[in-house]
Amino acid sequence: MKKLLILTTLLFFSFSSSLIAQENDFIKEYLERLETSKNYLILVAQMMPEDKYAFKATPESMSFEENLMHIGWAMDWHSQSLMGGREARDWNADAELKVDNKSKKQMIAKINETFDKTIEFISNFDVNRLVERLDYFGADRTKRQILLLLADHITHHRAQMLVYMRLNGLKPPRYVLYQ
């Protein structure tokens, strides 16, 4: 009986260690992807002339600059508020992550800063909490899934920005793999 208890305990700790290592690998790989995504988005933002930042494909679409700042807002909300538990910013009152008369240079600096804060948050995130579940617009999702949703969201809005560049006769930067 004692041998069975010891064997069971060893198996449990081996399995637990393996799961934590996998979660650590997930975070490491996610951060690599996020850093590459940051560099590519900033390059896209730099290449669009400032006089085209207000361009919209259709009247109801977000402009290039609104897509850019929306990416920052989403990073902040997904990481700091949804995963970190901080009160969400008030979209109507908080102008930090809105266009709000910011210059191209100011918007790029704010996106860079927001990426850095998000990367720092995820770097320090307790991997054991990735399995925690949240309500995500009516869907039951783990915090690991929230990170994947954030990556998709960044890609979605960056793709709109790339189309806006093409609609303005600009050639977007070459696609960078793994971001």
Residue list, annotated binding site for a divalent metal cation:
70, 153, 157
CA dist 70 and 97 (Å) reads: 7
Beta bridge partners of 141: 134
DSSP state string for 76-144: HIIIIIIIT-PPPP-TTT--TTS-TT--HHHHHHHHHHHHHHHHHHHHTS-GGGGG-EEEETTEEEEHH
> Is 160 within 8 Å of 151 (Cβ atoms)?
no
The enclosing H or E element of 11 equals: helix 2-47
> Is 176 within 8 Å of 39 (Cβ atoms)?
yes
Q: How many CB atoms lie within 10 A of CB 166?
A: 10
- Please state the residue numbers annotated as binding site: 70, 153, 157
B/e letters for 50-86, b = 16+ CB within 10 Å, e = fewer, are eebbebeeeeeebbbbbbbbbbbbbbbbbbbebbeee
